[in-house]
Amino acid sequence: MNFSRPIIFVTNDDGYQARGIHVLIEEMRKIGTVIAIAPRVGRSGMSHAITFSEPLRLRKVESAEHFEFYEFSGTPVDCVKMGLDKFFKTTIKPDLLVSGINHGSNASICSIYSGTVSAAREGAINGVPSIAFSLTDFHPDADFEPYRTHIQTIARAVIEKNTLPENVFLNVNFPKVENAEDLREIRVCRQTKGVWIEEFDRRTDPQNVDYFWLMGHFDNYEPNAEDSDEYCLKQKHTAVVPLRIETTDNEALVKLQKIIQ
Amino acid sequence: MNFSRPIIFVTNDDGYQARGIHVLIEEMRKIGTVIAIAPRVGRSGMSHAITFSEPLRLRKVESAEHFEFYEFSGTPVDCVKMGLDKFFKTTIKPDLLVSGINHGSNASICSIYSGTVSAAREGAINGVPSIAFSLTDFHPDADFEPYRTHIQTIARAVIEKNTLPENVFLNVNFPKVENAEDLREIRVCRQTKGVWIEEFDRRTDPQNVDYFWLMGHFDNYEPNAEDSDEYCLKQKHTAVVPLRIETTDNEALVKLQKIIQ
């Protein structure tokens, strides 16, 4: 491993065979040495889950000059923890961690359910500048070509300009566009306020026992907020939201100290 | 179901058979009507994970006056989603959601890995006043008796005094004490800054293939910060941390708008 080049750690939550991570690896190999560890299978919706009650398996799937690629049986956050433990020490860290490109939007409140975003959060917790990339298109054969320039711009801004404050990481979402020319600007914006409304789909199995599928739809509380990520995406801008890992609400803290004692 | 009493939704991540949730249900039945849905098996470390790629099963395990108790095959957050969909509508919500009592600490950064805390976060996302309770003792037979008074004080402060701002929920941790007299005050404090340092334990199976166990230790960045939850717990205080669901970092947003474009 050549440590004179930037070291970039790559992961995702759609699994090591997903198209999105291969595009992201290609882009990162233009910048530095790439170590990739991705889940063996799709682990969408795993959020910040970790695996400590079952053993985990790691297998190398590809290697080349300045490049190693592994699949791991754990969650996306497990992949980050394995990468940091196997290849780095607490004093030597990757110069950048990128996660994705996710097949499907992780804007607004999806950022808390997403394994892709959580992998970036885990990077930030460990002091690594981290970015999650997602495309608002769930299709396994989604076209990632239009977004290569924006990926380069954002990744280089983080790695070369050292733009990220400690404990902050980026949640980047790309709008679905037909052609690269339809993609507009990069907009730094805030997370849209909204909620997923669940409606479980109840069915009956051949043994006459009920089972449920989790379904839902997104309720955007502020569809016209121009500084929100959902709005930027609708306008065909790339939405970049800086998210924090520290979540104590200081205002509530002061208020509650007077009430609960 | 009698809607003239407060309706309290109870869940956890240790599973419906864990001792902690039974103590919490007992305390909540003193306050109102209780609907409990807990995971079928222990789902510790599941964070905010949701299940949409496999069907889910729900089974009633107990019912009495003003009380229904179900086990569910999903994650803790799935339990909350099922509860809100099955028993409530978006216009009628529980008056309180409580999660726990977790067997083991969820202070500091553990709050992001914990299924118990995520269940409370999911409640807050859905506009329900929500509290996660955890005891800094992993033992399945942990003694929860010393904490009953603090549970009542905190739950009643939230439900009767309407203390929680929108989008904020409480992460409550109890120190391990030998006797109720050793338990000190309730302290509203902030999340301690720190990180779990991972060291995977590498072993070889009988087929001579390597496998790994996730292990680690907590590195407290500020062991002497008197306003941090870890410090309060060491002093045998109950630590109450208000956490927010909105995580956009506004300071970074303004800074990044000038750099990334």
The model's confidence at residue B9, banded by pLDDT at 50, 70 and 90, is very high
Which residue in A has a C-alpha nearest to residue B237's C-alpha? A261
- Cβ A260–B57 below 8 Å, yes or no? no
Residue B217 lies in a domain: no
The model's confidence at residue B162, banded by pLDDT at 50, 70 and 90, is confident
Residue A102 lies in a domain: yes
Residue B249 lies in a domain: yes
Q: Which two tokens stand for residue A52?
A: 């400590």
- Chain B residues inside the 8 Å CB shell of A57: 209-212
Please state the ipTM of this predicted complex: 0.93
Q: How far is CA A167 from CA A164, A214, A242, B66, B249, in A?
A: 8, 33, 10, 45, 10
Q: Is the pLDDT of residue B10 over 80?
A: yes
pLDDT above 70 covers a percentage of chain B that reads 98
Beta bridge partners of B59: B71
With the C-alpha atoms ordered A42, A44, A48, A52, is the resulting torsion angle positive or negative? negative
Closest CA to B41 of B78, B82, B73: B73
Residue B200 lies in a domain: no
- Cβ A211–B154 below 8 Å, yes or no? no
Instruction: Summarize pLDDT for B194-244 with one digit per residue, the tens.
Output: 999 988 999 999 999 999 999 999 999 999 999 999 999 999 999 999 999
The model's confidence at residue A90, banded by pLDDT at 50, 70 and 90, is low
Residue B80 lies in a domain: yes
What is the average pLDDT score of chain B? Answer: 94
Chain A contact for B223 (CB, 8 A cutoff): no
Residue B99: give the domain boundaries: 7-193+224-259
Cα separation, A116 vs B133, in Å, equals 28
pLDDT at B2: 41
- Cβ B260–A240 below 8 Å, yes or no? yes
Residue B101 lies in a domain: yes
Order the strands of the B67-72 sheet from edge to edge: B58-64, B67-72, B33-39, B7-11, B96-103, B130-135, B168-174, B238-244, B186-188
Whole-structure pTM value? 0.95
Residue A203 lies in a domain: no
List the CATH number of the domain containing A118. Answer: 3.40.1210.10
Residue A200 lies in a domain: no
C-beta of residue B190 within 8 angstroms of C-beta of residue A250 = yes
Cα separation, A143 vs A147, in Å, equals 9
pLDDT at B90: 65
- Of A44-48, A175-179, B87-91, B217-221, the range with the lowest mean pLDDT is B87-91
- The phi, psi pair for B208, rounded to 5°, reads 70, 25
C-beta of residue B144 within 8 angstroms of C-beta of residue A81 = no
Chain A contact for B178 (CB, 8 A cutoff): no
Q: Per the structure, how many domains does chain A have? A: 1
